[in-house]
Amino acid sequence: MAVHRVGMAELKIGGPGDRLEALGLGSCIGLAMVDKVNRVGGMVHIMLPDSKIVQGPVKQLGKYADTAVPELLDQVLRAGAMRERLVVKMAGGAEMFSFAGSDAPKMAIGKRNTEAVNGFLKEYRLKLSGSDTGGNKGRTFIVSLDELSFMIRIVGKGEANL
């Protein structure tokens, strides 16, 4: 069994027996896609909703929701997953800091990340089958491809299945 730690802006693919982990999700989104039959899957650690802020080509496709969702789907399918068997779940999107003033909605990165990922999942006709987002607590998202389990650890609250 290999443990794949998915750091910020990273995307990793695993196979049967592997485990995917996104640690320290605050406003970031951990998005997982797993083929429930052949146990191939992937996870991406999305930091921001939109790559339009980048001038020039995007170098880290996992960093932005608009590039991460299609890239994760593409890589999972290339690894042998079947689209119709995908289980799609996400965690994160917390508001870790409170901002006052007129720029507060722009700074709501967790909420904006969650909305962006949901929008792109809808655009790619992918059904979200589980989600744990929002609030103001950090999370860790762990996917076991062997057991087909999706677990969330929330700071101060313990573990829960997703």
Q: 104: Cβ–Cβ under 8 A, 6 or more apart, which residues?
A: none
C-alpha closest to that of 45 among 29, 27, 65: 29
Cα 86 from chain centroid (whole Å)? 14
- 28 labelled catalytic: yes
For residues 60 and 143, give the distance between their C-alpha atoms in angstroms, rounded to a whole number: 22
Going from the C-alpha of 76 to that of each of 30, 45, 57, 86, 93, the distances in angstroms are 15, 15, 23, 9, 23
For residues 40 and 144, give the distance between their C-alpha atoms in angstroms, rounded to a whole number: 10
Q: In what order do the strands lie in the sheet with 3-5?
A: 3-5, 19-25, 139-144, 149-154, 158-161
What does residue 41 show for φ and ψ, rounded to 5 degrees?
-165, 180
Q: Which of 6, 9, 20, 28 is catalytic?
A: 28
Catalytic residue numbers, as ranges: 28
